[in-house]
């Protein structure tokens, strides 16, 4: 098994670049099929507001890493993308999967959305037949490990998310949300979470807009005391509110400068989308304050200290899980060789059974006896080599023995 992850994230890549390499669902499907056609064995694409990462299982790691790098450059048409792309291989890549799933690599340490996003990335790959035995096992193990870390270490006793921090900033800037009016645009996971937080505050009115109006109506049974509005009327409502939280999956901006410059009320906008929902120039309007996801990097440090201490303990747990997965993956290599040996035995058995049957014209009872004897003899022949392979622990020896078996039997 050769594993690699190639991509960009908030650690070293500005939002201007990240939003350009954010995958829509249709782009993920197109990208996955393209890379599979290029010879990559398995793929999972994780695309969030803070990261765009492609995980691959490969038979030729160096070649496939270059394939993914070139794909990023050509698919998104960004000549300088290699300045930002990072690559992690094998054990480092394994650690990264567990680390990301647990929220330890998130802008807001141990935030709660990433676990769902990791699960969605795997589900998408399974649905579109992009992943296989190794990545399916790895991502499921990472999700299970992340849940255990959060439970055992009580990392998420107080749920922390980008939305949580956004609401905290609004309270700091406005003094209180009591009597304020807000509009949430987008009803995905982040939009619904924003509604949940806002409904806990004593706001005067909460509006909700979405491109598909009927989807809002489906939410009204869960979110009471919110006012649905048609997407096309969003600017009319914006003139009435103090706060906008926007989190759509639109590939383009949905609040443009020409409309927003006509707004005269003081307004705080929390743009939690990637690509961003708000045109950049809107931030220069005197009466409007815009925050995007990168503005949360240095916010709420007091909430992070305890979590950072806990994350050091979590790293030890992850290292243990990584070693367990490496042991499992060694077995995958051996299982493949054992499967080939058994298939070769069956081929030989079938060949000689046909020869014996033709020469001796066996009755049905004799055929069963001969078939069983041939199978038994061939199984005994490969029994010791198989037991030896299964007993190997050292990866170098495993690779050495596998090469010998492959060469001898021309696998």
Tens-digit pLDDT profile for residues 65-111: 999 999 999 999 998 999 999 999 999 999 999 999 998 888 776 77
Mean pLDDT to the nearest integer, 203-207: 94
Region at 270 (left for phi over 0; alpha for psi -120 to 50; beta for the rest): beta
- pLDDT for position 157: 59
- pLDDT for position 307: 63
pLDDT confidence tier of residue 328, bands split at 50, 70 and 90: confident
Would you say the C-alpha torsion 351, 356, 362, 365 has a positive or negative sign?
Answer: negative
Residues 152 and 28 occupy one common structural domain: yes
- With a cut of 80, say whether residue 394 has pLDDT above it: no
Q: Is residue 201 part of a domain?
A: yes
> How many angstroms separate the CA atoms of 53 and 50, rounded?
10
Residue 354 is given by DSSP the state H
Does an H or E element contain 306, and which?
helix 304-360
> Is residue 183 annotated as part of the catalytic site, yes or no?
no
What is the Cα Rg of the chain in Å? 28
pLDDT confidence tier of residue 128, bands split at 50, 70 and 90: very high
> How many angstroms separate the CA atoms of 229 and 213, rounded?
8
Any idea what the CATH number is for the domain that residue 115 is in? 3.30.460.30
Q: Is residue 317 part of a domain?
A: no
DSSP three-state, residue 175 = coil
* Cβ atoms of 150 and 156 closer than 8 Å: yes
* Cβ atoms of 350 and 378 closer than 8 Å: no
Residues 238 and 198 occupy one common structural domain: yes
Q: Is residue 103 part of a domain?
A: yes
Q: Is residue 321 part of a domain?
A: no
Which residues constitute the domain of residue 293?
Answer: 162-300
Task: Provide the number of structural domains found in the chain.
Answer: 3
What is the distance, to the nearest Å, from the Cα of residue 36 to the centroid of all Cα atoms in its chain? 18
| Higher-confidence position of 134 and 396 | 134
Residues 104 and 173 occupy one common structural domain: no
- With a cut of 90, say whether residue 209 has pLDDT above it: yes
Which among 66, 70, 75 is positioned nearest to 21, based on CA atoms?
Answer: 75
Q: How many other CB atoms sit within 10 Å of the CB of residue 351? A: 10
Q: Is residue 104 part of a domain?
A: yes
Residues 272 and 140 occupy one common structural domain: no
Does an H or E element contain 183, and which?
strand 181-185
- pLDDT for position 122: 98
What is the distance, to the nearest Å, from the Cα of residue 112 to the centroid of all Cα atoms in its chain? 13
Domain stops at, among 130, 157, 184: 157
Beta bridge pairs of residue 88: 5
Tell me which of 49, 183, 204, 345 is the catalytic residue: 49
Residues 85 and 139 occupy one common structural domain: yes
Q: Which residues are annotated as a binding site for NADP(+)?
A: 186-191
- pLDDT for position 143: 96
Residues 15 and 143 occupy one common structural domain: yes
> How many angstroms separate the CA atoms of 168 and 189, rounded?
19
- With a cut of 70, say whether residue 14 has pLDDT above it: yes
Q: N- to C-terminal Cα distance for the chain?
A: 17
Residues 291 and 246 occupy one common structural domain: yes
* Cβ atoms of 144 and 206 closer than 8 Å: no
Residues 9 and 66 occupy one common structural domain: yes
Q: What is the mean pLDDT of the chain?
A: 89
Residues 115 and 238 occupy one common structural domain: no
Q: Which residues are annotated as a binding site for substrate?
A: 48-51, 106, 111-113, 117
Residues 32 and 140 occupy one common structural domain: yes
Q: Is residue 223 part of a domain?
A: yes
Q: Is residue 384 part of a domain?
A: yes
| SS percent in the chain: helix, strand, coil, step 5 | 60, 15, 30
- With a cut of 90, say whether residue 39 has pLDDT above it: yes
List the Cα angle 155/160/162 in 5-degree steps: 145
> How many angstroms separate the CA atoms of 253 and 233, rounded?
16
DSSP codes of every residue in 55-98: EEEESSHHHHHHHHHHHHHHHTT-TTGGGT-EEEEHHHHHHHHH
Tens-digit pLDDT profile for residues 234-288: 999 999 999 999 999 898 999 999 999 999 999 999 999 989 999 999 999 999 9
Q: Is the peptide bond before 275 cis (omega within 30 degrees of 0)?
A: yes
- pLDDT for position 303: 54
Residues 206 and 293 occupy one common structural domain: yes
Any idea what the CATH number is for the domain that residue 278 is in? 3.40.50.720
- pLDDT for position 225: 85
What is the distance, to the nearest Å, from the Cα of residue 155 to the centroid of all Cα atoms in its chain? 21
Q: Is residue 309 part of a domain?
A: no
> How many angstroms separate the CA atoms of 47 and 21, rounded?
9
- With a cut of 90, say whether residue 386 has pLDDT above it: no
- Of the listed ranges 4-8, 9-13, 42-46, 122-126, the one predicted with least confidence: 9-13
Which among 216, 152, 160, 150 is positioned nearest to 184, based on CA atoms?
Answer: 216
Domain stops at, among 128, 157, 186: 157
Q: How many other CB atoms sit within 10 Å of the CB of residue 328? A: 14
Tell me phi and psi for residue 269, to 5 degrees. -115, 125
Region at 53 (left for phi over 0; alpha for psi -120 to 50; beta for the rest): beta
Residues 148 and 170 occupy one common structural domain: no
Q: Which two tokens stand for residue 250?
A: 């639109």
69-100 CB burial, b ≥16 within 10 A, e <16: bebbeebbebeebeebbeebbeeebbbbbbbb
- pLDDT for position 68: 98
Beta strands 86-89 and 2-9: pairing type? antiparallel
């Amino acid at each position: 098994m050769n594993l690699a992850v190639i991509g960009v994230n908030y650690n070293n890549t500005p939002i201007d670049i990240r939003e350009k390499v954010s995958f829509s669902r249709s782009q993920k499907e197109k990208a996955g099929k393209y890379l599979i056609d290029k010879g990559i064995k398995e793929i999972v694409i994780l695309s969030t507001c803070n990261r765009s990462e492609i995980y691959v299982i490969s038979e030729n790691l160096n070649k496939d890493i270059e394939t993914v790098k070139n794909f990023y450059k050509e698919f998104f048409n960004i000549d300088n993308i290699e300045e930002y792309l990072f690559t992690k291989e094998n054990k480092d890549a394994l650690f990264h999967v567990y680390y990301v799933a647990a929220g330890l690599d998130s802008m807001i340490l141990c935030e709660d959305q990433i676990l769902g996003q990791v699960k969605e990335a795997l589900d998408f790959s399974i649905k579109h037949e992009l992943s296989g035995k190794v990545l399916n096992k790895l991502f499921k193990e990472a999700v299970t490990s992340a849940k255990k870390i959060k439970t055992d270490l009580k990392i998420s006793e107080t749920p922390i998310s980008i939305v949580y921090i956004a609401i905290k900033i609004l309270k700091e800037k406005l003094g209180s949300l009591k009597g304020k009016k807000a509009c949430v645009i987008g009803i995905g996971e982040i939009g619904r979470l924003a509604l949940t937080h806002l409904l806990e505050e004593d706001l005067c009115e909460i509006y909700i807009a979405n491109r598909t109006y009927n989807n809002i109506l489906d939410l009204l049974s869960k979110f009471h005391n919110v006012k649905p509005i048609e997407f096309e009327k969003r600017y009319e409502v914006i003139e009435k509110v103090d706060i906008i939280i926007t989190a759509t999956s639109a590939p383009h901006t949905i609040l443009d400068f020409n409309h927003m410059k006509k707004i005269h009320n003081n307004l705080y906008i929390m743009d939690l989308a990637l690509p961003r929902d708000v045109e950049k120039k809107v931030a220069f309007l005197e009466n409007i304050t815009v925050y995007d996801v990168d503005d949360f990097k240095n916010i709420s440090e007091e909430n992070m200290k305890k979590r950072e201490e806990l994350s050091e303990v979590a790293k030890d747990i992850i290292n243990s899980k990584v070693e367990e997965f490496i042991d499992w993956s060694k077995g995958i290599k051996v299982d493949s060789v054992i499967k080939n040996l058994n298939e070769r035995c069956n081929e030989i058995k079938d060949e000689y059974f046909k020869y014996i049957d033709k020469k001796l014209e066996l009755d049905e009872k004799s055929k069963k006896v001969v078939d069983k004897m041939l199978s038994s003899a061939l199984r005994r022949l490969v029994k010791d080599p198989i037991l030896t392979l299964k007993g190997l622990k050292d990866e170098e020896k495993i690779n050495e023995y596998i090469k010998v078996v492959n060469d001898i039997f021309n696998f």
